[in-house]
Structure 1
Amino acid sequence: MKPFSPNYYQDRVCLNVLANSIENAKAIYAAAESYVVVGLLSKNYPDNERAIEDMSLYAKEIDNAISVGLGAGDPNQSQMVAEISAKLQPQHINQVFTGVAASRALLGQADTVINGLISPTGKVGLVKVSTGPLSSKQPDGEVPVETAIAMLKDMGGSSVKFFPMGGLKTKNEFEYVAKACAEQDFYLEPTGGIDLDNYEAILQIALDAGVKKIIPHIYTSIIDAKTGNTRPEDVRKLLAITKKLVG
């Protein structure tokens, strides 16, 4: 498996965008100059076998720069993500908070980046960690951000996936999460409502906080509604913004 950070920009900032086909994935990878992991959603497949077969084809074409996803943070996809990732050994995995430990154990290595989904609560400094298949159906489990990060570290996680952000609607909460990630030397993945208009502001917050690695997820806003493809030209724009800020 190729290490996660093969170049400079990916070492600090790596885009995470979806692909609708292998050709779309190749176009995205080229547009991003490889500073990207391409999201493939487990929810789009009927079973593990079909997911592994198809995702393997993507991995071969883009140097294994794939990100195995849940599908809109669906907690019911947690086990499937863990199981297919064990076979695929991807560069990146999206998980609910409670699915991180199983994913790391099944992978059998520490190189793949695994995020853990925590959600805004409307209260600066507190996040929701009850994002799993059973816990998401219970009263919200709110804990201090610092505790959530420590728990993710305990489980073998690499990063916080802060979702759904609603773009800059949760700016104050996001600023606190970014600061905590920097202080605890943990990666950060802002997700939800990010577009070409607010991407720079969101990335700047994480950079200013001193976060070591940032993996912004930009999905719906750069997808062509007619074709379902992520627009390579928009990926190029995101990369240009990234280069401007990172220097």
Structure 2
Amino acid sequence: MKLLKMKKFRDQLLINVLASGEENAKAIYDAGEGYIVPGIAAADYSTIDEGVAKLRELKKAVPVVSIGLGGGGNFQEWKRVVQMAVEAKSEHINQPYETASYAKGYLEANNVKPMINALVVPTGTIGKVRLSTGATVDVESCLDLAAALNIDSIKVMPVKGLTHLEELVFIAKEAVKRGIRGIEPAGGIKIEHVPIMFKAIQQTHIELFMPHIFGDLLVEPGKTNHEKVRDLLTLLKGGTL
């Protein structure tokens, strides 16, 4: 998977953000010193073709692009994400837990091999997560099945900033035990939260930690402020703003 071959901050961290076009993608990628995975949210595009065209535009500026569900993690967007990925040959996509394995098989059959995450919802209880069906399940059982189905990464959303940090760390530790390579928190994350989250996640030794930061970085819908990306790198390096 091309995404896992990217250089990572301290060999572990990448940041997932939205980009409005080629120029914006290049600006945020450069501001983030290459530790950035720009992308789009499928829900923001009325047709598959529009989304594919935007993804192809972004790929002119950066080596890896991502497709998110959008709409606050709208589970109903899963099929449109897959359709866009087939056409644009994206390197990273988001899926609900229940559809991630199907998406992986379908895309591989079409010679597209992105890193695919499986979205679960934190419950406020360490060791329990909720699925898109509404079912609450044990983290261990959830990850056992994910590993058996060769799921690459677990997305945890909404983490509400640092509210569910202990749950996130527990999921990451259990993922590592099962050979799952990534953990991806999203929802309400501000740039000042990232160094705290990263310090906690580093102890788990998971291969990839990729927070999705949208609202706090956006200058307008779908467009990330490259200056705030630069600020985020400053904070990660121990600096102050």
TM-score (norm 1): 0.86
2:153 is the alignment partner of 1:151: no
Q: Indicate conservation of the 8 Å contact 1:191/1:217, yes or no.
A: yes
Q: Secondary structure at 1:46's aligned position in 2?
A: coil
Give the structure 1 partner of residue 121 of structure 2.
119
Give the structure 2 partner of residue 201 of structure 1.
196
Q: Indicate conservation of the 8 Å contact 2:158/2:187, yes or no.
A: yes
2:186 is the alignment partner of 1:191: yes
Q: Indicate conservation of the 8 Å contact 2:192/2:232, yes or no.
A: no
> Could you say which structure has the higher strand fraction?
2
CA distance in 2, matches of 1:193, 1:54: 25
1:234-245 equivalences under 5 Å are 234-243=228-237
1:167-246 equivalences under 5 Å are 167-186=161-180, 187-225=182-220, 229-243=223-237
Shift in Å at residue 154 of structure 1?
A: 3.0
Shift in Å at residue 89 of structure 1?
A: 1.8
Q: Could you list the runs of 5+ residues in structure 2 that have no partner in the other structure?
A: none
CA distance in 2, matches of 1:222, 1:84: 24
Q: Secondary structure at 1:61's aligned position in 2?
A: coil
CA distance in 2, matches of 1:114, 1:181: 14
Q: Indicate conservation of the 8 Å contact 2:39/2:66, yes or no.
A: yes
Give the structure 1 partner of residue 23 of structure 2.
23
Q: Indicate conservation of the 8 Å contact 1:82/1:102, yes or no.
A: no
Shift in Å at residue 112 of structure 1?
A: 1.8
Q: Secondary structure at 2:9's aligned position in 1?
A: helix
Q: Indicate conservation of the 8 Å contact 2:104/2:113, yes or no.
A: no
2:70 is the alignment partner of 1:68: no
Q: Could you list the runs of 5+ residues in structure 1 that have no partner in the other structure?
A: none
CA distance in 2, matches of 1:86, 1:154: 24
CA distance in 1, matches of 2:23, 2:130: 37
Instruction: Tell me: CA distance 1:4–1:174, structure 2 relative to 1, closer, same or farther (3 Å).
Output: closer
CA distance in 2, matches of 1:244, 1:15: 17
Corresponding pairs, count: 235
Q: Indicate conservation of the 8 Å contact 1:161/1:189, yes or no.
A: yes
The one-letter code sitting in structure 1 at the alignment partner of 2:96 is V
CA distance in 2, matches of 1:60, 1:198: 31
Instruction: Tell me: CA distance 1:11–1:105, structure 2 relative to 1, closer, same or farther (3 Å).
Output: farther
The one-letter code sitting in structure 1 at the alignment partner of 2:68 is G
Q: Secondary structure at 2:160's aligned position in 1?
A: coil
Identity of aligned residues (%): 29
Deviates more, 1:156-165 or 1:44-53: 44-53
Instruction: Tell me: CA distance 1:18–1:10, structure 2 relative to 1, closer, same or farther (3 Å).
Output: farther
Shift in Å at residue 38 of structure 1?
A: 0.6
Instruction: Tell me: CA distance 1:34–1:49, structure 2 relative to 1, closer, same or farther (3 Å).
Output: same
CA distance in 2, matches of 1:110, 1:144: 31
Task: Give the superposed CA RMSD.
Answer: 2.2
The one-letter code sitting in structure 2 at the alignment partner of 1:39 is G
Shift in Å at residue 11 of structure 1?
A: 4.7
